[in-house]
Amino acid sequence: MLATVSGSLALLVGLAVMLLPLLASELSRPRDAAWGAVVLLLGLTLVTSSDRLTGSPMLAVLCGALLIGRLGNEVLQGRWRMLSPEEQQRLFSLERWQTSLTELFSSSAKAAEAISSTSNSLLSAFKGGQRKTNSGKRWVRSESSSDNTEAAPVEPEPSETVVVSSFEEIDQLIESTSPQAG
Whole-angstrom distance, CA of residue 154 vs CA of residue 9: 70
CB of 65 closer than 8 Å to CB of 39 = no
What's the predicted TM-score (pTM) here? 0.49
Whole-angstrom distance, CA of residue 63 vs CA of residue 80: 26
pLDDT by 10s per residue, the chain, length 182: 777 888 888 899 889 888 888 778 788 888 888 888 988 998 888 888 877 777 787 788 778 888 888 888 888 888 888 888 888 888 888 888 888 889 889 988 999 999 999 998 888 888 876 555 555 666 666 666 555 455 555 555 555 677 788 888 888 888 887 766 44
Neighbour-count burial for 131-157, b at 16+ CB within 10 Å, e otherwise: eeeeeeeeeeeeeeeeeeeeeeeeeee
